[in-house]
Each structure stands twice: as C-alpha cells, then as structure tokens.
Amino acid sequence: MTSTATLDLSLELLRQPSVTPVDHTCQNIMADRLAKIGFNIENMRFDDVDNLWARKGTESPVFCFAGHTDVVPTGNLDSWGSDPFKPEIRDGKLYGRGSADMKTALAAMVVASERFVAKHPNHKGSIAFLITSDEEGPSINGTVKVIETLEARNEKMTWCLVGEPSSTNTLGDIVKNGRRGSLNANLTVKGKQGHVAYPHLAINPIHTASKALAELCDTVWDNGNEYFPATSFQISNINAGTGATNVVPGTMNLLFNFRYSTEVTADDLKARTLEILDRHGVEYEVEWTLSGLPFLTPVGELVNAARDAIRNVTGTETELSTSGGTSDGRFIAPTGAQVLELGVLNATIHQINEHVNVAELEPLSEIYEQILENLLA
C-alpha cells in the first residue's frame, strides 16, 4: 500500500502503548513536528497527566485542533488479529488500538497544519493544538485543567475542531455540533435487614423503591428539540442482598444516568427525581456527579467551513448530530468557542480489532486543511 504522510505519522503514534493516562511520547512526536513549522510548544502536566498546548501566532481568530493521545485498554490480547500496539494493514484497513479513536485524526491534524502553513506562512489569526492524555480516563487533569489555565490568562479560542470519530457510514457523513449533558447518580435506598419468613420485622428496600423506579423509567423528561433527542434515563447497575435466599437486604444501591438535552438543566432533573422518590416514601441517600453540560454550536462559521470542506473533498453532504457519549468538547464550549467534532468512522472504537480505512486518512487530512483554508487563509 502506498505510503502517505498521514499514514506514516498514524503508524508512529499507534506504536506508542499510550493507555490512559500514559501519553508514551505521542505528544512529543506531535510537538516536534509542530515546532518545526513555527508553533510555540507548552507542555502542561497536571498530576499524572501530560497535556500539550501548542500555538502558532498571537492574534485572533484562533483555530484549535483538540484531541487525545490516550487509548482505552486493549482487552484480551489473544482475541486480536495482531498486536494492538504493532499496527498492521490488512485488506485496506489499519488495525491497532487508537486507530479510530483517535490517533489517525491527530496525524491528519498535524499533516494538515504542515501543508497549510507551507502554503500560507503568513496566515491570519492563530492555529493551536490542545492535546491531552486523560480523555478516556477520569478527565480530571486533562483538557479541563488546560482550559482553566488558558482562561486564567484570557487566552481564548474562536473555533475548536475535536478529532473524535464522528462518521457513521462514510467519512464526513456526520459531524457532531453538540453533545448531550451527562448527569450520574449513586442512589442508596435504605431498608432493614431481616429473615424473609418474617417480613413484618424487615423493610425490603427493593420493594419500597420499585414503584418509584418504575415511574423514573416511564417519565418523559422532555421532548428534545431541533438538535437534541429527548432526555433519557437509564439505570446501569443495581445491587442488593447478601447472596442468601432467606435474607431481606438492608440496603439497595443503584447507579443511573441522565443524558439530557438543552430543554432541561441538571438541577431540574435532580429536583424531579427527588420529588418522585419522596412521593413514594423512599428512604434514601443520593450522590450526584455532573459529567458534562450539554453544548451546541449552531450553524455558523465553523459548521459552514466544515460542511464546505467535506463536500469539496468527498462530495458528501454532511449531517449535524448531537448523539453519542461525552467528549472533551464539553470543557471547551463553555469558554464561548464554536466547537465541532469531525473524524473517522466510529464503528470499531473501543472494540477488539479496532481499525480504520486507510483510504480515508489522506481525505481526512485534506478536509482539515480545507477548513483551515476556509477560516484562516
């Protein structure tokens, strides 16, 4: 298979076993390339997480490429067709952990920047890179900390393109112009342990909470809107009991999650949940964790630049979407930046034998370069 600049850099990055939060020199590889074309390199390490902030130029507007070098664990190595950190090309597909999520996008970003700067050494504004090794992990010492640092010195992005794998069937058919919010709860329902033969001497937390849980599952929280589907409520884990058949449990623990639209707030969801639990007489304790606020980038400069680039390179009319999980875009959007996610196909992310189509790597780099052309040339 013909070697290309984007493929070669992808292979170099994929050979690094950068399981979160370990970067394993990926950022140094990228930084070395960027420094050669005039980027100022700033390494930001917080606790055990390496982050890279690289910027070429000092003026506005600022276009930022954002992404992560960390990958999820490989799973059972025997199930892989090849070593996940020794990338292989088979039948036109590049296999390796991080090939789809999202090292090939990082390679495409670097190559696109190199080509754009070669053509436009005196481009307007600035180009930046915000790269973390903590996206797949707790997301505590990564992008959120870099953003805090940038905000403290009033360093703002105008546009931010996150290289998450957004495409579904063909490259660029879907771009994410927003994401739903994510609200998690750890609910402990209190009862009284006892013998199942003497239920009057016990309080079964499974029974006391069952009607409330049914109502939570059946509640319509909102109807969504033009950009977002309706808010969803999902129980992800329930645990109760001692393992014995003759013991009424004393407590029950539940984990549940809201993926919510801009039609409601986290406080709305909390209040309605507690009202249902209280109305059903449930005795409980609950701990809430807000993973991310919903964000939306309406049609404007960044969306139009991406649509135009995708159309020019692939002929595809792209579709805007806010589906899927959270991304680091949730930390960047609150700064006021327009945020968009655009990357390769997401069909195999986090899976055994993760792979990407080699033929789509150069076109992705061309799309990124065209977006730079549309905004900064």
Catalytic sites, residue numbers: 70, 135
- CA–CA distances in Å: residue 230 to residues 91, 236, 285, 306, 366: 40, 19, 27, 26, 35
Contact in structure between 295 and 209 (CB atoms under 8 Å):
no
295, containing H or E segment: strand 295-296
372, containing H or E segment: helix 361-376
The three-state secondary structure class of 188 is strand
Contact in structure between 339 and 295 (CB atoms under 8 Å):
yes
| Cis before 102? omega within 30 | yes
Distance of CA 68 to the CA centre of its chain: 9
Rounded Cα gap, residues 172 and 165, in angstroms: 10
Neighbours of 242 (CB within 10 A): 11
Backbone angles phi, psi at 261, to 5 degrees: -90, 180
| Longest CA pairwise span in the chain (Å) | 82
161, containing H or E segment: strand 159-162
Distance of CA 98 to the CA centre of its chain: 13
Length, in residues, of the chain: 377
Of the candidates 254, 174, 243, 177, which has an alpha carbon nearest to the alpha carbon of residue 210? 254
